[in-house]
Structure 1
Amino acid sequence: MEKIQEVEELQVKGTFSNGLLIDALPTSGWSRPTMGSFGETTSERNMEKVWEYLMDDEVRTIGVFGMGGVGKTTIMKHINSRLLNETYYEDEKRIASELYAILSQKERYVLILDDLWEAFPMEKVGIPEPTRSNGCKLVLSTRFLEVCRKMECRPVVVELLPKEEALNLFMSKVEEGQTVLVPEVKEIARKVAKECTGLPLAIITLAGSMSGVNDIHEWRNTLNQLISSTKQISDIENVVFELLKFCYSRLKDEKLQYCFLYCALYPQDHIIPRKELIEY
């Protein structure tokens, strides 16, 4: 009852007479809201009024008001969706032309494109052809040699870490938490590092899961499990998957495993707030 009363008081404080307060879109990205029913002629006419004012340069502020349940929020959702749809198809050409205009004016720049999954015609996205005369260069990263060939790049293969470098990286991550391994454990750790086959991602991930562990039995068990899970695998990318799966299985708490899996539902390179992830 106390909570209900508190909520009612807050609702009264948040009431704006004859109007509706709309929060700004988050600056971190756009959302495409789920749309409610919007088939009534009156509702469409109301939305068109708002849209007409939006397109009028003389009108800078628009207030949509009405009693609760009349459809104000639905109108706002449709306006938002329509704005996104209106700009999305035009943006590709507009941004490409703007990018081309900006880059064409520059000399001797380096354009870096990270994590490319397929080749594309540069003029389509507004990138001028890098030539000796304009002094411009393009550097891209990709998993696929074929992308380099189609983009007519000079390929540079990123080599795996040699044994000594791989071991140094592994041990630096394991002992990052000021855990000094005893000699017997360190010898097993060397063999565990070797199972990472020189892949930095695998080394860092596996070392992180073993950070703070100084029990020789746990290290020996880890080594045996790794050898068992990777001995039949020849494809190096699948080795990474097996190592990641192994680290996942080391998350003994089921809640932590859920958190790990839920990360896969976020877009690539998206910032994941810890509190938000835990709540989900």
Structure 2
Amino acid sequence: MLLPRIWAPARIAASTSSVSIVPCSRVLDTLRVARGSAASPTLSFARHASHQSQGRANGAKQGPGKRLGAKKTGGQYVIPGNIIFKQRGTDWFAGENCKMGRDHCVYAVESGYVRYYRDPMKHPKRQYIGIVFDKSETLPYPPNAARRRKLNMLAVRRDPEPATLEGQVVVGDLQVGDGTGSVTSIRETIRDDHVLRGKKGYAFREANWSIGRAGERSDVQVKKFVPGDRWTAWQRSKARKDANAEKRKLRNAQKASKPKRKR
């Protein structure tokens, strides 16, 4: 491949010098003869691009959409961690009981209802997303009003404490003596059941303490757990596997009984 490039400088050297050049088929002989001449030829090589530059081949690729936009509507119930709005940039800012992620998504940090609003007192042009605890509330809150926080606690109504007599000792809910020499009495703590309300897709259950109290009142006996009892564990595992196998058989039988559609 180098032979055609070498012949041209060799011809120039032969024309300018008195040394006669005998054509040969070897590249080394040609270089040896050219080196001995007065004007030594210089070889120039051009490096061609091996990759296409510019043009449409190296442009931006059409990737999948990032599913940006609103994920929860105004008035919809959310729980902590739910993403409310995904965006590029800060078209919407995090307001009450919300925070902003590093990709500018706005998510909830408390359970409540979504509100899209503006706060001219805070910033005249910004749009905010917040969470309220009651569905009838609106944002923003009035100026100088106390900021509402849920603190993950339930409001429990407390009865007024009874007046204590002389010689009476009260420890928590346990009353030891009442000053008249009667038997020690224990008064039961009265709690109002918290009414749980939710939308579709969210399930609520009764508190663990109320489930335990109901079990104690109905005298439910539970088999005591024995650590290391592998026989009982194997029996439960086998029963669970048999039940799952039976469900699969029923599903397959229902699928087989359905008539196939003609294409």
TM-score between both structures, scaled by the size of structure 2 = 0.23
The structure richer in strand per residue is: 2
TM-score between both structures, scaled by the size of structure 1 = 0.22
User: With CA pairs under 8 Å and 6+ residues apart, which has the higher RCO, 1 or 2?
Assistant: 1
Larger radius of gyration: 2
